[in-house]
Structures are given as structure tokens and as C-alpha cells.
């Protein structure tokens, strides 16, 4: 026990997780984690470690080497990897992206190989070979070859079309262009031609083609602004900054062309937020981090041009590493169908073996003593039985329907086109239709249990809108005129009086405008002045218009609101900020900016007013602001009430306050501030402490309320999906407060919901683990497993958990191994055995813990996971798949959702403003979250019902068709003679019974789309697998067996001792075969009519057309003319015309069809009358239900004391721009001429190149 505790750090010993931080990156090593926490280690261990580090300082992690402007460098032998036998390739990828599977030479062999990996196709290939053996062949070879070629051909064409689309997409991306240095000059090159070590130039609005090191840019200090929407779904800009040395010396083309820097860095990985490396240049080494790297997929914004050195290219880039493994997805019905086909194959073998034994016995008892049956062969009965076994395998092969797979593919293809053509899922604003990007998963859309959704850009529009505010205790933002009278309908405020208005703000409170313009309440103007001054937004002018770039969309919304209300932020320098106050430009000195961080939850700015006074302006979350207010601050309670009202309306709130500062007080504080700013250690902590000293005794001005605008129809969609018994989990990288607020806004959470947090469920899980450990003693095997719920029954619960708590609870934290075990001496066998046992115990504990977590989470009506990494999103999806065996769907819009989308059974991409990365990896895509309800409740449910009906009918009709041979065997000495003509066997599944069932699989619907949406409860049949399972399968088989029994024995009885009208007996074998075939075709086509719920002209035409086609073809095939041309292939000359002209035969056919169908009609009538299903009831009353029900939003019940769920203002996930502003690095200055020339000598590397 001690050894186990020494070797692993357990859950209880670790520190509490931090809700504000995204947990460690996906590829972090144990060593990196250990470095984050200083630990006391034995002296000998320290010596060992230091010796190893000093010996190879860069070899441990930085093994990726890049040489600028030197392509030959990467062809060195130690960079080459063996690819295939003696063929070697460089480990450095080129920049071409390949997603296609085939080329012109490999398509045919690879596609055929993939198709014959399917058990059914391989089975029929073997069958075709058997039919080529004369001794055992009982059917002509073409009866198998024709259907097999049709199946292979249709599938190959479909695969070819899909792969051609991939080729086009790859070609489009790979042929994008940018400027690359070649032969000392910048030249236009295609993306696919870029290689590691190339120096490239990018311009504004260019996509970044590879992961590059920023060398210089057109901005001050070589800043570069990038939009990372493709990576994380955030549209606010991030800034990157080059090294000072490269900024200074690498601005001109000739200096970039002679740049010979050498980089050692980490190997390619999927960590979007981390990079470790070193640049060696000009005999000096420079550290590199993620702030200097531009990642593929981002877009250059607000930067005229920039230069960069390619570090990772193509498949090695971080965005490609994050895309996760492409999984081949198959539906639940696919797996079930395969097992059923295997069951049929077993039945086929057993039937064939039984009939072969019967033939051997028959030969021994009768065949050998009947001289008229002698065939010239003197084979033993057992040998004849053996040959007949294979003969019956061939005769009964249609039990395994070869056309089943191609029919399924055709139906899925058609259903996919219906999704693509659905105008109600078309988004006209962006001209974006819904698209089924795969054709193999449609019916699985009708079986979803869990939906995993991203938040930003998926549930929300990622657009922040200023909705309301509270100033001096007065709430503004309602519909009222300038006289303070409320109106239900009123025109929005006209901001045309303001020359700086952007025309985007829609506001209905005219009284606020009156207050601003009149100046009666100075607090109102002070409020908007604070919004215009207290921020870290950057501004530039485009075509004379102000363009704001904010570190977070919330901050951008507040500054834009102040601009529209007459207080426009115009420009700033390192020490000043210029504001237009109701048309008058004023410039204020900025004395200090106290930036935001996740612990402070606020930011402040200290300015000197035009009168010479010093004033601090502060904005932040109400929880931190109220703690720092002066005790005599007025309107605290009124503002508190307003905050509660805003929270009830699911608005994101922020408090604003200010403070007058004496000159002497500021001077003393400023000395401490300057000292903390240059502190060499713990600078952030020192600054926070200094900030605390000045941010106290604040005077409250009011509060803002911002709407994180949901996409249209999100609450309605979630409500309907919940009624369909689909649980929705939100997985986001956003803050806990923001995610929780969106949960309330989209009605995933309500005021009646009991919310459990990470610390709550951690205790519950710990208790459950202890109980399970106590029960797992000696008597555990005698005690039956009992599922104990975590929560008492009743009540509505939701779980909100952060990524840090998720790692803690699931024991996913990288374990920190004891330093003792890192000593360099070999372990004994005993130590190894104990180590192995410890690992097994930890794995078992982890697995049990994960299962308990999934069980607990699934008892909640909603789950929100926030501050999670892309890998954690995929992990949560995988846990539910693994432990609940449930069908999952993941929906997202950014590259950080790709892993989750690929992990789920079905992935849906939102084709929004965040780029196409998620869409490219998805199975289905559309523009708005609200279309998900139609995709699942209409297309998914219809597809599931159609596919289930199709499969049940298909198995039925094939058993009814094939087992006639079985009954016939008892009357022909088990000789493997067929009961039908060969051409009928060939064409039965291809022509005579294929079209009606295909049309039912494409067009059938039990209720209309409007009723499907109105009654989401209809969806549960798919979740519970009620329409296709083993019980339904055996019912279909039994139905087929009984039908075959009737089809054979009624004509047999009718033919016994019978004389026709012309005095001749019609009871010959060929007439008998035609009678059974005719009855079969009519029966199975009428049966599909009974199964059809939605009749159209096309359905009716296909049923009667198939019957007419059968009779038309049979008369042609039985004509004398075709017999003369092909006498050996067409032997039933004149049979159809002779047999079918006799009324007796028609009476037999009608009687057979009636006996087959009337019991089915009776059973259907009784079931619909006595045990009607939900859809039966809706069908019965569909005329009364035609009026569409209007969905109404749930009324918010405001209750005092509910302010605990108030959303905090969503500041940026990274640090703001305050550091850039204060240092002046973002301010444009006149460039100095180059004062140095790059040395000609090669930089001295830290390790020898030739080694």
C-alpha cells in the first residue's frame, strides 16, 4: 500500500482545481507537469538530473531543426525515414494536404479490394466460383454475376464521385498562392510548393498557409493581428509580436533572402497554445514561444504585410494535428444487419446440410434401385450428398440478399439528397443550404440519445449587443418615449444626430437620449464617458470609418455603445486617449492602466481630467465591485435590484464605478506601481497587490446589460429535442459564468433547476467509490449488482463542471511519479511486479470512477462542461459512447470541435462565420442550430422508419421467394432442382420486386413533417430500437416462411389430379413454376402496398408496374423466337402463354395471394384498433391537428435572492492589450534606418550540425 501511494499522487492529495483556467494541453508530458510545481527531491536525484540536463541541454524536447532559406538542409541522411522497403522520405512534410483515397491508377484495385472486404460481396464472389464448377452448379453463372456487377458498379460510382469531390477540395486549397523567397526574390508560389525553412510574405486578409515564426511586419514593433476563428471559434483579434532582433534587421527583401537563422524546437504536436524553441542567429540565442508563432488556418487582419519562417508544414501543422483520427462510421442498423446476414448464412448452411443428408439417404434407399433415374454416374450416395450440399448453397443463396446492400446505398443516397434539397433548412442570409456530407448515417439520425454542443458560434451568434443599463438607480432600455411614457410599439432611436454612430445599435429607450443631450443628470454622461475611456480597445480607420479591435467581444460592444450614444473613442497614444464627447474632441492623459485578469475580474484606468483632477474609472463583475464600494455609496440596493432583473432576462452584467484620487495619494501609489512593474520575480502578484490598494472606496455609477445573442430558434429547438427524450450537453472553452448564463438563456437551465458543481459531485463520487470498495470484498460475488441512483427521484438537476474538475474527477490528471522511481538503477522483479499491480489497480479505479461519473451525469437533465480542451470534449463524448452504449451527436463550428465531431457517432458542423474546419470534418452541415430539430425529428425519424420497413420487407420477400425451393426438395428427391426458371431467379430482386421497396424506403412517411415537429415524442421509437431488432427480424422471417409454405402447397394441391379445359393435365413442372412465380410477384408487391403509409402516384405505379413488367418479360422469355436464338438459355418455350390462358391457374393464383394477404390485413386492422401506436393515433386525427401549434417561450419567474447565477462580464480568455498600450509598442512611429548589417558568418549553433 505504501509503495502504491509513493508511486502515484492520488486524487485526494492534489490541490483544488481552478475553475478559471483551461487545464493542461493535450500533449503535455509528465515532465512538463512536474516542472510547474517545485518539489523537494533527494540530493542524489538532483545531481543525476542536473548532470543529464547539462550534458544534452536541448536534446530532450527540442529535436525539430529548421534552417532558414536552405532546402538542402532537410535532405541529410539523419532526417530521412524509411517509408517502404528501401524508399526513404524526409521526416519534414511538404505543405500539400491530401484527403482523397484514390488516384487514377489505384482506384479500381483498391476499390474492389475494399468492396470484397464486405462479407456479403466476398460470399457472392465465392458463390460465383462455385457456379463455375459443372459438378455442383445447379444455377447458371449469370444469376449471380449480373446482380454482383450491379452492386459493385453502383458502389464504385458512388465512391468515385465522393473522391473526385475530395480531389477538387484538396486542389483548391493546395493551389492557393502566397509569396515565397526563391533565388533571392519574393515570387508567387502555390501552397503545396511551400517547404519547412521557407521565408514567406503574407498580406492583410490572407490565410496563413503553414505554422510560421513571425519575423517582421508592417506594424510597430512587428506586431501582427490574427483572427483565430478557424481554431477556437473566437472572432476577436489576437496579437502576435516578432523578436526585437528580427523586427530590426529583417524588414527588407534582401535581408530576408540572406537570413540564415537556425531553430531548434519541439516536435509537431496538437498544442495550440504552447510552443517552445530557440532561434540561433548572429552568434546569439533567442527564446521562442507561442506569441511569436502564426498558426495555419488563422487570417491576417489589420496588418498590411508580415514575413515569417515556415516551422511546420502540411500534416505537421497544429490545426492538422488537432483534427483527430478520421473514424469510419457505421450505423447501429448496419451492425445489426450484418449480424442478421451472418444468422441467415448459418441458417443456409444448416438447411443445405440437412437437405444434402436427405439426398444421400434418398439415393441409398430409392435412387440406386430406380433404373429410370440412372444418370451414368456410379458415385456413392455420400459423395452425391456432398455435391448436393454445394448445390443447395447455390440454389438457396438468395436467402442472403446480394441486392440488399446496393438497395440500402441507393435509399441512403436519396435520403441525403432530400436533406440537401430541404428549403426549410436553407439559410438565405448566407446562401447556405443544409448538406449531407456522408450518405451512410441517415437512419442513425433517428436514434440519437445525447447531443454534445459547442457554445460560441453554435448556440450563440458570437455577437454581443448592448441591451439595457442602470444609471444612478434608474433602468434604461425599455420601450419608452422621451417623456418617459412606455409604449408596446415604438420606433428605434435615431442616432443620425451623432456623426460617429455606426448605425448597428438598435435601442428603443428615447428617454436615455433625452437625458444624455440635456445633461440634467451628470451621472448619465459620466457613465458613457467611463465606457469610452476604461478599456484596452485598439482603433484604426478604414475608409474614414472607425474600426475597433477588442480583446473580447463584450468590450467591443460596450465601447461601440458609448460611441453610438455620443462618446466615441477616437485614438490613443502611450499616455493619452482622445474621446469625442457629444461632438467635442477632448484628450486626456492616461496615468495608469490596471489590466484585467481572471482573478481580478475587473479593470481600471487612471486619467487626469481637463481640470487637472485625477480620477480612477473601474468596471468589473458585480461580486468584486460591491466588495470595494465606499460604505456611503448611494443607489446600491437599486442597482442590485436592477442586476437581478437583468439576470432574470439572461443578460450579461457589469458594474461601473469611479473614484477621485488626491495628487499626493497618487504619487505615493505610483511609486509602488512602478516598482512592481519592473519586479524581476512574481511581477503579476506584486501588481495585483498594488492594484488592490487603489481600487477601494469606489463610487457606484451603474451597471450595463449585454445580450450574448443566441441564434434564432435555439430555445425552441432545445425544448423540442428535450421532449424527444434527447439530452443535451454543452461543451465549451468559455468561462463558467458565461456558459451558465447561456444555459439559462437557451432554457437548458431554468429557475427550478438544481445546479450541481464540480466540488459537489466530487464528494458524491468519492463516497460512491468508498462504498464500492467496501462492497468488493470476499462476499462481493454473492451479492447481486444493484444500480443505486446518485440523487433522490424527482426534481430537475443540471451539472456544471469545469475542465480542471473534469480531469480531477476522472483521474485524467497526468500522474506525478515519485522521484525515487527515477533513479537510474535497474528494478528488481519484485519491484516490477508491484509496479504492474499498482498500474492495474489505478486503471481499474480510473475506469470505475469514469463509469460512476457518466452514471451521475446521465441522471441530470442537462450537463455543461466549461473551460475544456478539444481533447476533453472528445473524451466526454467517448465516455458516454463507451459506458451508456448510446448514440451520440456532436455539433460545433470551430477547429476546436473537430475532435469531438469525429468521435461522436454523428458529427454536425455549423457553417458560420468561424470558418469551415468543423464543416470539413462533419457528416452533416447547415448554417443554424435551429435546423437540428428538423434534421433529427423529421429527416432522421423518417429515415429510420423507412430503413426499418425496407429491411423487414426485404428479408420477408427473400425468404418467401427462396424457401419455396426448400419445400420443393421434399418432392424431388432433394436433388437441388430449382422451383423457378433460371431467368426468374436472376430478375426477381433486380426488376420484379425492387422498385416498390426502393420507393417506400425513399418516400414513405407515417405522419407529415409538421406533425413530426409538433409531436417530438414520436422520436422515441428509434431510440428504443422498436422498429428493427432481432424480434422483428424473426417475425419477418416467420412471415416469409409461412408465405413460402402457402405459395408452394396451395398450387401443389391445386395441381394434383387435375385436368385442364383441353383435356390435358396442366400439372407439369414448368407450368407449376410459372404459377408459383406469378403468385409470388403479386403477393410481395401487394404486401408492400399494405406496408406503405404514404401513398403517391409513384408508389402505385411502381407496384402495378412491377407486376405488369413481370408478365411482359415472362411472355417474351417464354416465346419461341428467343428460344430459337438461344436454345440452351431459354427452355420454358410457350409455358407462360399455355399456362396463363387457363382460368383454373388464375383461380389458383388468386387463392394463393388471398391466403397470403388476408391474415396480414386482419392482424393490421386489429392492432390499429386495439393497440394503436402513437403515430397511428396521430394519423387517425391528422385533419384535426393540421393547425400548427405555436411554441411559446417559458416565462421567467423572478424571485429575490436568485442573483447567484448572474453572468459575469466575459473578458478575453487571454490577457488584454494594456501591456502593449502602456509600453507604446502598438503606437506607430517613424521607422529608423537599418543601423547594422547582418553578419556574413554562419551563426554558431548550440550543437554540431554534422553529428
Q: At what angle do helices 758-775 and 829-858 cross, to 10 degrees?
A: 120
Decide: helix, strand or coil at residue 310: strand
Distance of CA 1091 to the CA centre of its chain: 36
The kind and range of the H/E element at 229 are: helix 229-232
Q: Which of 445, 344, 493 is nearest to 404 (CA)?
A: 344
Q: In what order do the strands lie in the sheet with 64-67?
A: 64-67, 262-265, 277-281, 284-288
Q: 3-class SS at 755?
A: strand
Nearest Cα neighbor of 460 from 741, 100, 50 is: 741
Structural contact between residues 296 and 208, judged by C-beta atoms closer than 8 angstroms: yes
8 A C-beta contact, residue 1192 and residue 645: no
Q: Report angle CA 662, 660, 530 to the nearest 5 degrees.
A: 140
313 within 8 A of 194, measured Cβ to Cβ = yes
**Which stretch of DSSP H or E encloses residue 601?**
none
Residue 853: count of CB within 10 angstroms of its CB: 25
Q: Name the nearest CA neighbour of 205 among 232, 176, 226, 175.
A: 226
β-pair type (906-910, 888-892) = parallel
Element (H, E) at 289: none
Cell 439595457 locates to: 468
The contacts found for 109-117 with CB under 8 angstroms, 24 or more apart, are: 111/156, 111/159, 111/160, 112/152, 112/156, 114/159, 115/152, 115/155, 115/156
Q: Which helix (H) or strand (E) holds 801?
A: strand 797-802
Burial letters 59-90, b for 16+ CB under 10 A, else e: eeebebbbbbbeeebbeeeeeeeeeeeeeeee
Catalytic site residue from 454, 595, 897, 923: 454
* Three-state secondary-structure class, residue 284: strand
CB of 969 closer than 8 Å to CB of 389: no
Q: What angle (nearest 5°) sits at the alpha carbon of residue 17, between those of residues 12 and 21?
A: 160
* Cα angle, residue 847 at apex, residues 842 and 851 outer, rounded to 5°: 145
Cell of 10: 492520488
Backbone angles phi, psi at 304, to 5 degrees: -60, -45
Measured N-to-C along each axis, helices 941-969 and 995-1003 cross at an angle, to the nearest 10 degrees, of: 160
Q: Which of 614, 563, 622, 552 minimizes the C-alpha distance to 588?
A: 614
CA nearest 567: which of 471, 521, 500, 467?
500
Q: What is the distance between the alpha carbons of residues 307 and 256, in angstroms, rounded to a whole number?
A: 9
- For 548, phi then psi, to 5°, come to -95, 140
Strand bridging mode 185-190 / 435-436: unpaired
Q: What residues form DSSP beta bridges with 299?
A: 207, 227
The 3 state secondary structure assigned to 643-712 is: HHHHHHCCCEEEEEEEEEECHHHHHHHHHHHHHHHCCCCCHHHHHHHHHHHHCCCEEEEEEEEEEEEECC
Spatial CA neighbour of 733 closest among 798, 802, 800: 802
Which spans in 1056-1096 are helix H?
1069-1091
Decide if 725 is catalytic.
Answer: no
Active site residues: 454
Amino acid at each position: 500500500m505504501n509503495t502504491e501511494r509513493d508511486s502515484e499522487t492520488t486524487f485526494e492529495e492534489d490541490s483544488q482545481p481552478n475553475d478559471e483556467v483551461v487545464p493542461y494541453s493535450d500533449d503535455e508530458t509528465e515532465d512538463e507537469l512536474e516542472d510547474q510545481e517545485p518539489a523537494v527531491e533527494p540530493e542524489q536525484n538532483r545531481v543525476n538530473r542536473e548532470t543529464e540536463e547539462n550534458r544534452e541541454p536541448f536534446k530532450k524536447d527540442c529535436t525539430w531543426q529548421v534552417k532558414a532559406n536552405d532546402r538542402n538542409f532537410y535532405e541529410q541522411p539523419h532526417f530521412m525515414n524509411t517509408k517502404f522497403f528501401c524508399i526513404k522520405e524526409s521526416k519534414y512534410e511538404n505543405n500539400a494536404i491530401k484527403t482523397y483515397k484514390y488516384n487514377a491508377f489505384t482506384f479500381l484495385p483498391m476499390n474492389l479490394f475494399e468492396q470484397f472486404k464486405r462479407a456479403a460481396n466476398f460470399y457472392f464472389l465465392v458463390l460465383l466460383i462455385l457456379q463455375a464448377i459443372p459438378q455442383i452448379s445447379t444455377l447458371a453463372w449469370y444469376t449471380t454475376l449480373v446482380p454482383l456487377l450491379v452492386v459493385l458498379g453502383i458502389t464504385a460510382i458512388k465512391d468515385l464521385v465522393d473522391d473526385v469531390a475530395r480531389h477538387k477540395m484538396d486542389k483548391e486549397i493546395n493551389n492557393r498562392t502566397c509569396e515565397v523567397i526563391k533565388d533571392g526574390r519574393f515570387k508567387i508560389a502555390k501552397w503545396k510548393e511551400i517547404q519547412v525553412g521557407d521565408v514567406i510574405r503574407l498580406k492583410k486578409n490572407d490565410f496563413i498557409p503553414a505554422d510560421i515564426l513571425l519575423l517582421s511586419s508592417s506594424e510597430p514593433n512587428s506586431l501582427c493581428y490574427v483572427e483565430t476563428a478557424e481554431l477556437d471559434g473566437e472572432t476577436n483579434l489576437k496579437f502576435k509580436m516578432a523578436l526585437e532582433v528580427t523586427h530590426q534587421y529583417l524588414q527588407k527583401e534582401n535581408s530576408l533572402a540572406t537570413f540564415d537563422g537556425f531553430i531548434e524546437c519541439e516536435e509537431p504536436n496538437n498544442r495550440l497554445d504552447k510552443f517552445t524553441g530557440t532561434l540561433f542567429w548572429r552568434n546569439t540565442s533567442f527564446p521562442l514561444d507561442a506569441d511569436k508563432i502564426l498558426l495555419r488556418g488563422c487570417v491576417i487582419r489589420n496588418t498590411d504585410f508580415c514575413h515569417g519562417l515556415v516551422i511546420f508544414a502540411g500534416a505537421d501543422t497544429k490545426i492538422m494535428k488537432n483534427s483527430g483520427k478520421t473514424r469510419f462510421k457505421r450505423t447501429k442498423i448496419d451492425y445489426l444487419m450484418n449480424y442478421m446476414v451472418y444468422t441467415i448464412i448459418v441458417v443456409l448452411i444448416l438447411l443445405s446440410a440437412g437437405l444434402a443428408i436427405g439426398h444421400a439417404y434418398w439415393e441409398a434407399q430409392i435412387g440406386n434401385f430406380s433404373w429410370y433415374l440412372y444418370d451414368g454416374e456410379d458415385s456413392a450416395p455420400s459423395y452425391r450428398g456432398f455435391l448436393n450440399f454445394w448445390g443447395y448453397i447455390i440454389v438457396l443463396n438468395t436467402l442472403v440478399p446480394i441486392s440488399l446492400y446496393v438497395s440500402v446505398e441507393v435509399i441512403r443516397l436519396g435520403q441525403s439528397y432530400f436533406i440537401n434539397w430541404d428549403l426549410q433548412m436553407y439559410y438565405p442570409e448566407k446562401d447556405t443550404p443544409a448538406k449531407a456530407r456522408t450518405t451512410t448515417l441517415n437512419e442513425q439520425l433517428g436514434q440519437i440519445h445525447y447531443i454534445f454542443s459547442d457554445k460560441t458560434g453554435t448556440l450563440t451568434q458570437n455577437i454581443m449587443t448592448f441591451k439595457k443599463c442602470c444609471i444612478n438607480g434608474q433602468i434604461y432600455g425599455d420601450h419608452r418615449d422621451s417623456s418617459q411614457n412606455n409604449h408596446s410599439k415604438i420606433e428605434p432611436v435615431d442616432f443620425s444626430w451623432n456623426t460617429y454612430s455606426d448605425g448597428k445599435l438598435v435601442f428603443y429607450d428615447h428617454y436615455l437620449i433625452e437625458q444624455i443631450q440635456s445633461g440634467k443628470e451628470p451621472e448619465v454622461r459620466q457613465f458613457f464617458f467611463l465606457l469610452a475611456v476604461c478599456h484596452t480597445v485598439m482603433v484604426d480607420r478604414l475608409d474614414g470609418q472607425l474600426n475597433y479591435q477588442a480583446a473580447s467581444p463584450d468590450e467591443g460592444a460596450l465601447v461601440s455603445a458609448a460611441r453610438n450614444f455620443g462618446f466615441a473613442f477616437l485614438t490613443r497614444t502611450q499616455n493619452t486617449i482622445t474621446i469625442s464627447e457629444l461632438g467635442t474632441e477632448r484628450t486626456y492623459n492616461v496615468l495608469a492602466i490596471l489590466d484585467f485578469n481572471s482573478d481580478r475580474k475587473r479593470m481600471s484606468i487612471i486619467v487626469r481630467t481637463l481640470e487637472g483632477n485625477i480620477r480612477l474609472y473601474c468596471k468589473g463583475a458585480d461580486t468584486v465591485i460591491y466588495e470595494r464600494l465606499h460604505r456611503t455609496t448611494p443607489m446600491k440596493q437599486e442597482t442590485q435590484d436592477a442586476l437581478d432583473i437583468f439576470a432574470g432576462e439572461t443578460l450579461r452584467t457589469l458594474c461601473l464605478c469611479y473614484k477621485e484620487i488626491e495628487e499626493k495619494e497618487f504619487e505615493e501609489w505610483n511609486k509602488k506601481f512602478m516598482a512592481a512593474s519592473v519586479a524581476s520575480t512574481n511581477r503579476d502578484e506584486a501588481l495585483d497587490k498594488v492594484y488592490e490598494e487603489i481600487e477601494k472606496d469606489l463610487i457606484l455609477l451603474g451597471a450595463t446589460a449585454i445580450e450574448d445573442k443566441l441564434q434564432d430558434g435555439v430555445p425552441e429547438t432545445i425544448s423540442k429535442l428535450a421532449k424527444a427524450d434527447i439530452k443535451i450537453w454543452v461543451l465549451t472553452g468559455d468561462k463558467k459564468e458565461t456558459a451558465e448564463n447561456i444555459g439559462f438563456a437557451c432554457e437548458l437551465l431554468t429557475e427550478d433547476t438544481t445546479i450541481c458543481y464540480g466540488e459537489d459531485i466530487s464528494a458524491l463520487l468519492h463516497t460512491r467509490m468508498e462504498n464500492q470498495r467496501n462492497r468488493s470484498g470476499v462476499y462481493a460475488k454473492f451479492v447481486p449488482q444493484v444500480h443505486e441512483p446518485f440523487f433522490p427521484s424527482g426534481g430537475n438537476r443540471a451539472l456544471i463542471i469545469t475542465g480542471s474538475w473534469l480531469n480531477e474527477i476522472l483521474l485524467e490528471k497526468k500522474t506525478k511519479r515519485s522521484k525515487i522511481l527515477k533513479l537510474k538503477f535497474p528494478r528488481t522483479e519484485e519491484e516490477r511486479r508491484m509496479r504492474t499491480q499498482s498500474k492495474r489497480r489505478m486503471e481499474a479505479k480510473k475506469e470505475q470512477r469514469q463509469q460512476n461519473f457518466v452514471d451521475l451525469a446521465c441522471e441530470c437533465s442537462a450537463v455543461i462542461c466549461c473551460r475544456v480542451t478539444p481533447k476533453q470534449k472528445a473524451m466526454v463524448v467517448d465516455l458516454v459512447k463507451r459506458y451508456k452504449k448510446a448514440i451520440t451527436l456532436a455539433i460545433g463550428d470551430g477547429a476546436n470541435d473537430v475532435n469531438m465531431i469525429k468521435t461522436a457517432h454523428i458529427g454536425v458542423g455549423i457553417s458560420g462565420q468561424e470558418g469551415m474546419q468543423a464543416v470539413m470534418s462533419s457528416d452533416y452541415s447547415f448554417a443554424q442550430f435551429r435546423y437540428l430539430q428538423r434534421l433529427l425529428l423529421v429527416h432522421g425519424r423518417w429515415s429510420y422508419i423507412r430503413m426499418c420497413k425496407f429491411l423487414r420487407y426485404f428479408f420477408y420477400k427473400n425468404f418467401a421467394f427462396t424457401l419455396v425451393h426448400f419445400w420443393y426438395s421434399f418432392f424431388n428427391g432433394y436433388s437441388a432442382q430449382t422451383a423457378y426458371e433460371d431467368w426468374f431467379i436472376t430478375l426477381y430482386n433486380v426488376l420484379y420486386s425492387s422498385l416498390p421497396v426502393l420507393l417506400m424506403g425513399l418516400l414513405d412517411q407515417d405522419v407529415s413533417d409538421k406533425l413530426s415537429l409538433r409531436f417530438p415524442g414520436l422520436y422515441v421509437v428509434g431510440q428504443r430500437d422498436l422498429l428493427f431488432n432481432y424480434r422483428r427480424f424473426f417475425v419477418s422471417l416467420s412471415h416469409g416462411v409461412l408465405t413460402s409454405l402457402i405459395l408452394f402447397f396451395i398450387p401443389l394441391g391445386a395441381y394434383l389430379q387435375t385436368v385442364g379445359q383441353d383435356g390435358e393435365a396442366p400439372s407439369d413442372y414448368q407450368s407449376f413454376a410459372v404459377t408459383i412465380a406469378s403468385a409470388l410477384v403479386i403477393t410481395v408487391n401487394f404486401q408492400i402496398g399494405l406496408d406503405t403509409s404514404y401513398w403517391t402516384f409513384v408508389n402505385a405505379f411502381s407496384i402495378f408496374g412491377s407486376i405488369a413488367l413481370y408478365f411482359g418479360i415472362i411472355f417474351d422469355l417464354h416465346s419461341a423466337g428467343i428460344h430459337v436464338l438461344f436454345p440452351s438459355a431459354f427452355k420454358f418455350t410457350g409455358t407462360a402463354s399455355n399456362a396463363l390462358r387457363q382460368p383454373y391457374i388464375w383461380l389458383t393464383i388468386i387463392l394463393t395471394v388471398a391466403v397470403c394477404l388476408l391474415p396480414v390485413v386482419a392482424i393490421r386492422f386489429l392492432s390499429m384498433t386495439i393497440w394503436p401506436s402513437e403515430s397511428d393515433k396521430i394519423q387517425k386525427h391528422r385533419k384535426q391537428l393540421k393547425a400548427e401549434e405555436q411554441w411559446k417561450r417559458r416565462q421567467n419567474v423572478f424571485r429575490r435572492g436568485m442573483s447567484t447565477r448572474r453572468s459575469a462580464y466575459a473578458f478575453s480568455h487571454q490577457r488584454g492589450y494594456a501591456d502593449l498600450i502602456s509600453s507604446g509598442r502598438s503606437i506607430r512611429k517613424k521607422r529608423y534606418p537599418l543601423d547594422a548589417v547582418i553578419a556574413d558568418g554562419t551563426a554558431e549553433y548550440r550543437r554540431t550540425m554534422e553529428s
